[in-house]
A and B are shown apart, each in its own frame.
Chain A
Amino acid sequence: MTTSDGAVIGTTQVYGSAPRNRAFNIVLLAEGFTAGQQAAFNTAATAFVAALRATPPFDELSPAINVFRVNVSSTDAGADDPVSGGGTGATARTYFDATFGGNGIRRLLLVNQTTALQVAAAQVPEFSLVLVVVNSTIYGGAGGSVGTYSLAGGATEIAIHEAGHTAFGLADEYPYYAGGNETGHDHHPNVEPGEPNVTVNSNRATLKWRWAVASTTAIPTMSNPDCSKTDDRPSTVPAGTVGAFEGAHYYHCGAFRPEHNCKMRALSVPFCRICRQVIWNRIGPLGTLPARAKTPISVVARYPEHLDVFAVAADGRTMSDWWNVNSGWAGWFHVSGGIASPGGTGAPVTSIARYSGHLDLFTVGADNRVYSAWWDASSGWSAWFRIGDLVVRPGSTVNVVSRYDDHLDLFTTASDGRTMSTWWDARTGWAGWFHVSGGVAAAGAPVTAIARYRNHLDLFTVGADNHVYSTWWDDRSGWAGWFRLGTLTCRPDSTVTAVSRYPDHIDLFTTASDGKVMSTWWDVRGGWANWFQVSGGVASAGSPVTALARFTNHLDLFVIGGDNRIYSTWWHDTTGWAGWFNVSGGVGRAGGQVAAIQRVTNHLDLFTVGSDGLVCSTWWDSEGGWAGWFPLGIT
């Protein structure tokens, strides 16, 4: 009973059209089907596809899923069914050596995993999941690196449950080991499981899936009153409520699951919210990101070989992708279930890395309040949490500055236009929001900030009269009053971009009411210069000017032009301003933004929303010049 008992006939794609190298590829292997019975396997494959597509979230994710059937003939039909496992004693010469009765249990259906993996790798090298379909009406299946199931009614449920383990790393949520009130499974050991859908922790603040728990849901949601047995009571909360339900991961008590029921707890029920999100996070990143048309993109280099990018999807989801020199782009994923305010041009996600193992994010939520989340290398992503009660303008930007590692300063505009700030300090936590020096910003104008020293801040915005204003804070003198910078008239939603090439110098960039790209500078010796147009440039209405100082004597600018093309220019102290040029033929969205970062010397990475609505990127380095634009997703 080996591979000499049959032959691989061939492979047929039975579902999907996603590029194989960017898809979730499921391979179904025929086992125990003779050459004359291949039609029955084909029918089983079709039934599997139907069952999968009827199971959320696979229904929504189906554009990224391919299913292949590999027809394999066996000498005999069926599988071994040993008497020792309660079977009939039948034997069958089959390709993958399938046998019921594993470990003396008839329903435990095992195959030669090595052969299955090697055949799958040979037939569909890009496979993500292998399932062996066994030609028998005896009920059975098994999990592990290769899932098995038979043709018995409902056995496809086994395949989908096992996919939860093999492909998505989900834990079993049932609260017993041997089926019920066995001994030795009263209390889960105090060891945190690595899987995302079970936990020994019932602390709301640190719960793994805290991002999905409503503030009105009790934690724990249900506790087992008798740990000597399983808690078989019906749910005390409506179906679909995410909380912490005691009894999971093979133990009656001491371990919690996210919902009362889930396919990882029992067959024939849907996956819970958390498991659905995990499946999304595995398959969703295989695609590109249709983004909000004007969403500003935020990019952070926590260290030179790594980038974290944040954007808002067309449906408002707060999304991230990351790149590492050793693994490429990781694909877009939804950050902690966040939804950004759709008001105005849509609130962006802003980000900052106070140190290499930590990120802080900020956005305005759908309720027009300011929210934050963080990622830490030791604990992963936090839930989004609200910072105070401030109600901001719909779609406002929250700008952040870290003057030193243990401190953050935030700036945004209230619903009535007041320029608002708060701060966080590691010793004292979040302060209350306060109005900065009586300032009021024009509708749509963000408040930008720069820290030239750890005890000094400079702020800029467009005031209600559409002129540019500034103020500063110094730890010795506190906040200064707002003062006007020249007579330039801006669009009310213009962004004032500030760059400090060295501590005693500031360069400002913005757009005039007629779209002209304008600049001025401040120097400690000469004060503020007059506004001037940069190389005749004109920006698309609402497009901010992105500025980067790669050296103390060099600036690079990026903007979406009046023709929606992506333009750049540079300034060098010896040559002055260059002319604007179109970056690699790129075309963006009207009013869009171009994010830019220098993670290593003589290298730039750019990000924007392309004319096709997808987040895209290009890069420049001094050796190869500009690369072509590519849709940002996974590499």
Chain B
Amino acid sequence: MTDPAQPPGPRSVRLIFTYDGDEVRLLQQQPVDVAISGFDLPQEQSPGHHVEVRGADDRVLSRVPIRATMTTSAEVFPEDPSDPITRTDLPRAQGAFTVVVPVSSSAEHVAVVRIAAPTGEPGVEAVGTTELARFPLEGGGPR
């Protein structure tokens, strides 16, 4: 009985960043028709690097995790599967990453943040958010 038409929702934008240590640059913004699942919009505040979509009043509208990047080590794989995978330290964290964020009419800018991990048992909220950079969204602000 269902109508394939979906309800109007927020649009999505792909962001490509480069980083050198904690210095982050936004290289590209690309509107994209992609559904963002709850997996990439955790409702709990989790430690690690994230891109926050914020309103003009700096209120966080959504937060998307940045995965497997901005680290100072790399994995080295064994040719023989029975040998261990190892890691090696890198001189510094450097590279690029991408996220897709939901952009509602309230969205005005994005911020790259690092949320510190709590100590001890889980259930304790992550504490300490460090903003590394913020960038205006193209076409952001009230529409």
- In the complex, how many residues of chain B place their beta carbon closer than 8 angstroms to a beta carbon of chain A? 74
Q: Does A588 have its Cβ within 8 Å of any Cβ on chain B?
A: yes
Q: Does A45 have its Cβ within 8 Å of any Cβ on chain B?
A: no
Do B1 and A585 touch (CB < 8 A)?
A: yes
Chain A residues within an 8 Å CB radius of B32: 125-126
Beta-carbon contacts under 8 Å, B87-116 to A: 87-91, 95-98, 102, 104, 106-107
Given contacts A192-B118, A614-B2, contact A325 B104 (CB under 8 A): yes
Do A587 and B1 touch (CB < 8 A)?
A: yes
Q: Name B residues whose Cβ lies closer than 8 Å to a Cβ of A.
A: 1-7, 9-10, 14, 16, 18, 27-28, 30, 32-41, 43-48, 53, 61-62, 65, 67-69, 71, 74-79, 81-91, 95-98, 102, 104, 106-107, 117-126
Q: Does A612 have its Cβ within 8 Å of any Cβ on chain B?
A: yes
Q: How many A-B residue pairs have CB under 8 A?
A: 247
Q: Contact check: which of B35, B47, B89 meets A21 at CB < 8 Å? A: B35
Do B6 and A635 touch (CB < 8 A)?
A: yes
Stretch of A5-13, A65-73, A198-206, A571-579 on the interface side: A198-206
> Which residue in chain A gives the minimum CB-CB distance to B77?
A158
Do A152 and B35 touch (CB < 8 A)?
A: no
Do B124 and A378 touch (CB < 8 A)?
A: yes
Q: Contact check: which of A178, A190, A614 meets B119 at CB < 8 Å? A: A190
Do A285 and B86 touch (CB < 8 A)?
A: no
> Which residue in chain B gives the minimum CB-CB distance to A164?
B68
Q: Contact check: which of B3, B91, B96 meets A628 at CB < 8 Å? A: B3
Stretch of A50-58, A112-120, A446-454 on the interface side: A112-120
Do A206 and B122 touch (CB < 8 A)?
A: yes
Q: Contact check: which of A125, A177, A179, A325 meets B14 at CB < 8 Å? A: A125
26 residue pairs A–B, Cβ–Cβ below 8 Å: A21-B34, A107-B78, A108-B76, A114-B27, A118-B27, A126-B34, A139-B79, A142-B75, A145-B68, A146-B96, A161-B77, A165-B68, A168-B67, A172-B85, A176-B86, A194-B48, A208-B122, A281-B39, A325-B104, A327-B104, A328-B10, A329-B7, A331-B35, A378-B124, A585-B1, A629-B2
User: With the chains together, A330 CA to B102 CA distance in Å?
Assistant: 11
Q: Does A586 have its Cβ within 8 Å of any Cβ on chain B?
A: yes
- In the complex, how many residues of chain A place their beta carbon closer than 8 angstroms to a beta carbon of chain B? 96
Chain A residues within an 8 Å CB radius of B4: 630-631
Q: Does A290 have its Cβ within 8 Å of any Cβ on chain B?
A: no
Query: How far in angstroms is the closest Cβ of chain A from B15?
Result: 10
Given contacts A142-B74, A192-B120, A630-B3, contact A105 B88 (CB under 8 A): yes
